[in-house]
Amino acid sequence: MDPTAVLQIKNSIPYFVPELMLSATFLLVLIGEIVTKRSTYGGFGLITLGGLIATAFLSLQLYKLPETSLFFRMIVVDNFGIFFKVIFAVSAILVVLFSMNSPELEKYSAGEYYCLIIAVVLGMNLLASSTNLLMIWLALELVSIPSYLLAGFLKEDKLSTEAALKFVIYGSVSTAIMLFGFSYLYGMTGAYEINDIRAALKAGEINSTVLLITVSLILVGIGYKIASVPFHFWLPDVFQGSPTAITAFFSYGPKAAGLALLIRFFYGVFAEGGPAYEVVGGLYWPALMAMMAAITMTVGNVVAIWQTSMKRMLGYSSIAHVGYMLMGFVLLRQDGIQAILFYLMIYMVMNLGAFLVVIALSGQMESDDLSQYRGLAARSQFASAILGIFMLSLTGIPPFAGFIGKFYLFAAAVHAEFYWLVIVAVLNSVVSFVYYGGVVRRMYLEEASSNTPIVLPSLSRTLLVILAIAVLAMGVYWSPIADYSERSARFFSQKAAIAKVD
C-alpha cells in the first residue's frame, strides 16, 4: 500500500475519535448482549449513555479547530459538523433515558435496541460531515437501514410492523432515486467530492435541463430525510406505529441530519465562494425553496388540526417545524443558516419534552388518543402544567423559547426579502395554536372520564423539570446559544482553504 495513504489514514484518526467512540460502544453493547444473554433496558442503557456522553464530550474537544479534511477528502471536521454531532449525541441521550422506563419495549431485547440507536447516531454523525457523494450515500443508508428496524421493533404489534413496511418502501425508493441523481452528477462532473463538483460545474458547459433533473432527483432523497412536502407521506404512519421513544428519536435526530446534509450539499455545490445558485442558471432557486418551505409548513399545520392520535399530531407538527426551518435556507446565507442551527437547539428541547410527557403517560392511558388527555389537569397537575409549557412553546408564544427561535427564522426571511413567506409563516403559527392550544384546552377545561390520579416515574419527573426549565430559560436568556450557533455557522462566510491532514 502507498505509504502516504497509510500516513493520511493514521493522521486522520485523531479527528475521528467521536465516531470511534460510538463504534466501540456499539461493539460493547452487542457483545454484552451475546455474553450475558439476559438483557435489561436499565443496564445496557447505562453503557449506551456512557458512550454517548463520551462522544458528545470528545466532539466538543474538536470544536474551534481549523476546518480539516480527512480520509482522502471523504469527510470534513468543522464547527458546523461538530455542532450537529453534539446535538445528535444529546438527543440520543434523551431518547435512551426515555427508553429506560418505557413499558412497551420491555418484552424485546434491550441490547439490539441500543445497538440500532447507536448505529443511527453514527450514521448521522457521518452524514453531517460527509463531503463526498460516496460517503453521503453510505451515511444516508447507515441512518436509514437501522431506522427501518427500529420502526418495526415491536414485532408482535401490528401497527409497528405496518410502520416498518411503509418506512422501508418509501425510504428505499427515495434513496434509490437519489442514487440515480448522484450517478448523473458524477457523469456530468467526473468528480465525487462536492468542492470538485462545484469547480467542474462552474468550468464546464452544463446542460441546465439535465442539471435541473439531477438536482430534483437528489432533492427527492434529501426531502424524504427531512420529510418536507411532497416527500412526507411516510411520516405520519411511521410516527404513529413506531415505539414512542423511537418516534421521539425520528422526530429530531434524522431530520436534523437531513438538514445538515441539505445545507452542506447545496452550499458546497451551488453557493460557496459566490452568489448562491450561480452555477444552476435558468431557474430562480430561492423562490423554489421558499415555496417548498411555505407548502411544508402549511400542510403540516393544517393536517395536524384533524388528527386524533397524539403521536400522529406531533408527527404533523414536526413536518410544520421543518417548514419553518427551511425559511432560513432560501438564500443560503449565514444569517439564515445560523437561525436554523439556533432553532434546532430550541426545537430539540421542546419537542423531545413533549414526547417525554407522552411516553411517561402512556403506561397509564389506554391509548395515545387525544381524548385520553381530557381533564388531565384533575388527574396530574404536574404532567399537564409541563405539557402545557411545551405546547405553548411549540406554538411560539412569547416568554417561551419557541418564540425566540421563530423570531430568528422570520428575521432571516425578512433579510432575504421574502415578505410573503413571513406572512405565510405568521399565519401558520396562528393555525398551529388551534391544535397545540386544543391539547391545553382538553387538559384544563374538559371533564375527565376517570379520576384516578396519575403518578409519573421519578426519572421522568426530574427530566421533565430540567427540560421545562431549559425552555423557560432559553426564552429569556438566549445569547449563549445564539453565539454558539453563530460560531458554528461561521464557515459559511469566511471560507478559507481547507486544511488537509497529510
Partner 1 sequence: MITLAPGLYHYLIIAAILFCLGLMAILTRRNGIAILMGIELILNAANLNFVAFSYYVTRTLGGHVFVVFNILLAAIEAAVALAIVFAIYRHFHSVEVPDVNIMKG
- Residue pair 350/422 in contact (Cβ under 8 Å)? The answer is no
CB of 184 to partner 1, least distance (A): 7
Phi, psi of 216 (to 5 degrees): -65, -40
221 is an interface residue for partner 1 by CB under 8 A = no
Map residues 230-259 to x or -, x wherever contact with partner 1 holds by CB under 8 A. Answer: ------xx--xx------------------
423 is an interface residue for partner 1 by CB under 8 A = no
172 is an interface residue for partner 1 by CB under 8 A = yes
Q: Which residue has the cell 374538559?
A: 446
CB of 170 to partner 1, least distance (A): 10
Query: Which span sits near partner 1 by CB under 8 A: 106-114, 161-169, 370-378, 468-476?
Result: 161-169
Choice from 57, 306, 420, 477 touching partner 1 (CB under 8 A) = 306
| Phi-psi map region of 283: left, alpha, beta (phi>0 left; psi -120 to 50 alpha) | beta
**C-alpha torsion sign, points 192, 198, 201, 204:** negative
Helix (H, G, I), strand (E, B) or coil at 500: strand
302 is an interface residue for partner 1 by CB under 8 A = no
If the CB atoms of residues 384 and 432 are measured against partner 1, the closer one turns out to be 432
Q: Which amino acid is at 51?
A: G
The DSSP line for 13-63 is: GGGGHHHHHHHHHHHHHHHHHHHH----HHHHHHHHHHHHHHHHHHHHHTT
CB of 403 to partner 1, least distance (A): 30
If the CB atoms of residues 234 and 252 are measured against partner 1, the closer one turns out to be 234
Q: Maximum Cα–Cα distance for the chain, whole Å?
A: 74
If the CB atoms of residues 34 and 134 are measured against partner 1, the closer one turns out to be 134
175 is written with which cell numbers? 434513496
33 is written with which cell numbers? 448482549
309 is an interface residue for partner 1 by CB under 8 A = yes
Query: Which span sits near partner 1 by CB under 8 A: 2-10, 304-312, 398-406, 447-455?
Result: 304-312
The DSSP line for 289-347 is: HHHHHHHHHHHHHHHHHT--BHHHHHHHHHHHHHHHHHGGGTT--HHHHHHHHHHHHHH
If the CB atoms of residues 23 and 364 are measured against partner 1, the closer one turns out to be 23
If the CB atoms of residues 23 and 161 are measured against partner 1, the closer one turns out to be 161
Query: Which span sits near partner 1 by CB under 8 A: 27-35, 143-151, 226-234, 432-440?
Result: 143-151
Q: Of all helices (H) and strands (E), which one includes residue 68?
A: strand 68-70
Integer angstrom CA distances of residue 500 from 78, 119, 130, 195, 264: 12, 27, 15, 14, 18
Count the Cβ atoms, other than its own, within 10 Å of residue 477. Answer: 11
23 is an interface residue for partner 1 by CB under 8 A = no
108 is an interface residue for partner 1 by CB under 8 A = no
Choice from 73, 312, 321, 379 touching partner 1 (CB under 8 A) = 312
Q: Binding-site residue total for partner 1 (CB under 8 A)?
A: 47
Q: What is the dihedral of CA 458, 461, 466, 468, to 10 degrees?
A: 180
Q: Which amino acid is at 39?
A: S
Map residues 380-419 to x or -, x wherever contact with partner 1 holds by CB under 8 A. Answer: ----------------------------------------
177 is an interface residue for partner 1 by CB under 8 A = yes
Q: Which of residues 113-142 bind partner 1 (CB under 8 A)?
A: 133-134, 137-138, 141
481 is an interface residue for partner 1 by CB under 8 A = no
For residue 310, the Cα-to-chain-centroid distance in whole angstroms is: 20
Query: Which span sits near partner 1 by CB under 8 A: 26-34, 148-156, 262-270, 335-343?
Result: 148-156
Buried b (16+ CB within 10 A) or exposed e, 34-71: eeeeebebebbbebbbebbebbbebbeebbeeebbbbb
The DSSP line for 4-23 is: HHHHHHHHHGGGGHHHHHHH
196 is an interface residue for partner 1 by CB under 8 A = no
If the CB atoms of residues 142 and 289 are measured against partner 1, the closer one turns out to be 142
If the CB atoms of residues 169 and 427 are measured against partner 1, the closer one turns out to be 169
The DSSP line for 100-133 is: HT-GGGTTS-HHHHHHHHHHHHHHHHHHHHB-BH
If the CB atoms of residues 169 and 465 are measured against partner 1, the closer one turns out to be 169
161 is an interface residue for partner 1 by CB under 8 A = yes
For residue 39, the Cα-to-chain-centroid distance in whole angstroms is: 29
CB of 433 to partner 1, least distance (A): 21
Integer angstrom CA distances of residue 300 from 93, 235, 293, 304, 319: 27, 11, 11, 6, 5
Query: Which span sits near partner 1 by CB under 8 A: 12-20, 303-311, 325-333, 424-432?
Result: 303-311
If the CB atoms of residues 137 and 285 are measured against partner 1, the closer one turns out to be 137
169 is an interface residue for partner 1 by CB under 8 A = yes
Kindly list the residues in this chain that would bind partner 1 in the complex (CB under 8 A). 133-134, 137-138, 141, 145, 148-149, 152, 155, 158-159, 161-166, 168-169, 172-173, 176-177, 179-180, 182-184, 186-188, 190, 192, 200, 203-205, 236-237, 240-241, 306-309, 312
